[in-house]
Amino acid sequence: MQHLIQVIKQKKELKDISDDFVKDHLIKYQTKHNIKILPTNPKSKDFKIIVKDIRAELRKVYGLFRNKDNAKLRNELIQQPNQKNIHLQILQTHASTKERLPFYKDLYTEIFKITKKPKTILDLGCGINPFSIPFMKIKPIYHAYDINEEEITNINQYFQKNNIKGKAELLDISKTTKLKLLPKSDLAFLFKVSAILDQGKGHKKTEEVIDATPAKYVVVSFPTLTMSGKPMTAPRRSWMEWLCKRRNWDYNIIEFKNEIYYVLKK
Ligand SMILES: C[S@@+](CC[C@H](N)C(=O)[O-])C[C@H]1O[C@@H](n2cnc3c(N)ncnc32)[C@H](O)[C@@H]1O
């Protein structure tokens, strides 16, 4: 299996995914297609089909968000001796965080008005959002999780250089048994990951993940612009509101130009 994993990862855009994440996809694939023994010969038809199918799945859940050159640039910025304001340059290198630059400060002010200033934060499917900590104007202990090895390394280096307490770790956040074991925190972020978790199959996974997250407050965010950049006609996620009512979770909505945030209290 290890060989298959390495072959699957031999694509620029997939190379930084954690081995465990690829392995899980392989195991699911094996069960789904009732494959007793995985092929080992890279030249065989079966081997090639599996590589192709798993790569396609990974690209769907993961590859879309990657931009190699930008990851390299982020790493170069982190190595700079003068760290002042490098977070601003880093946040500009990813679409989701770049869009938030005009309102990051207000976003955290609004969130903390509801949750009070947190001492500990979990950032699930964090991407490069941890570089926005300077906008919080507080010094929380920050635990960040993602499946991207390179980003996790970058964040840890940044934390060390800038005396930010906390750590970034590789974790597939869809694994709720592991989620439950994360450090108990005041607040958790699930920014723009719900659709990735649900994969167009209802919203059960998002519910499970919110449920398993060991934090009293969970902020779940969604884009409010369409792929072509036009504002959505219905930016609110009514399913989210029904879910909160069904589960008896209080919620507040914070809305900015490109993104809507549900602040849930469990
Ligand atoms: C659209 S980006 C959002 C990043 C960040 N939350 C933000 O809004 O700035 C999605 C992120 O989720 C990560 N991701 C996707 N599936 C994941 C999983 N199962 N477990 C952990 N992270 C995951 C991706 O690597 C990517 O960094």
CATH number at residue 111: 3.40.50.150
Cα of 10 from ligand 1 centre, angstroms: 21
Q: Specify whether 108 is located in the same domain as 88.
A: yes
Q: Specify whether 103 is located in the same domain as 163.
A: yes
Q: With a 6 A CB cut-off, is 131 part of the ligand 1 pocket? A: no
| Mean pLDDT to the nearest integer, 2-31 | 88
Using CA atoms of 258, 206, 94, 81 in order, give the dihedral in degrees to the nearest 10.
120
Range of the domain at 246: 67-265
Q: With a 6 A CB cut-off, is 125 part of the ligand 1 pocket? A: yes
Q: How much of the chain exceeds pLDDT 90, in percent?
A: 71
Q: Specify whether 159 is located in the same domain as 194.
A: yes
Contact 224, 255 (CB under 8 A): yes
Q: Specify whether 83 is located in the same domain as 169.
A: yes
What separation, in Å, do the N-terminal and C-terminal C-alpha atoms of the chain show? 40
At 154, the pLDDT band (50, 70, 90 cuts) reads very high
Q: Specify whether 250 is located in the same domain as 163.
A: yes
Output 185 or 12, whichever has higher pLDDT.
185
Q: Which strands make up the sheet holding 185-191, listed edge to edge?
A: 166-170, 141-146, 120-124, 185-191, 215-223, 259-265, 250-255
223-253 pLDDT tens trace: 998 767 788 888 999 999 999 999 999 999 9
Q: Would you say residue 60 has pLDDT above 90?
A: no
Q: Specify whether 200 is located in the same domain as 106.
A: yes
Q: Specify whether 58 is located in the same domain as 73.
A: no
Mutating to test ligand 1, I would choose from 133, 150, 196, 197 the residue with most ligand atoms within 8 A of its C-beta, which is 196
Q: Specify whether 182 is located in the same domain as 243.
A: yes
Q: Which residue, by CA, sits nearest to atom 1 of ligand 1?
A: 192
At which of 63, 91, 112 does a domain end?
A: 63
Cα of 193 from ligand 1 centre, angstroms: 6
Residues 6+ apart with CB under 8 A from 138: 112, 117, 118
Domain count for the chain, please give it.
2
| Mean pLDDT to the nearest integer, 51-65 | 80
Q: With a 6 A CB cut-off, is 93 part of the ligand 1 pocket? A: no
Least confident range of 28-32, 68-72, 100-104: 68-72
Cα of 125 from ligand 1 centre, angstroms: 4
Highest mean pLDDT: which range of 55-59, 76-80, 119-123: 119-123
Cα of 41 from ligand 1 centre, angstroms: 33
Three state DSSP letters for 115-178: HCCCCEEEEECCCCHHHHHHHHCCCCEEEEEECEHHHHHHHHHHHHHCCCCEEEEECCCCCHHH
Q: Which residue, by CA, sits nearest to atom 20 of ligand 1?
A: 172
At 62, the pLDDT band (50, 70, 90 cuts) reads low
| Mean pLDDT to the nearest integer, 49-78 | 80
At 10, the pLDDT band (50, 70, 90 cuts) reads very high
At 150, the pLDDT band (50, 70, 90 cuts) reads confident
| Ligand 1 atom, smallest distance to 129 CA | 9
Q: Specify whether 77 is located in the same domain as 98.
A: yes
pLDDT of residue 170: 96
At 66, the pLDDT band (50, 70, 90 cuts) reads low
pTM of the model: 0.85
37-54 pLDDT tens trace: 989 899 999 999 999 999
Q: Specify whether 36 is located in the same domain as 161.
A: no
Output 229 or 32, whichever has higher pLDDT.
32
Least confident range of 2-6, 57-61, 67-71, 107-111: 67-71
Tokens of 205: 């996974």
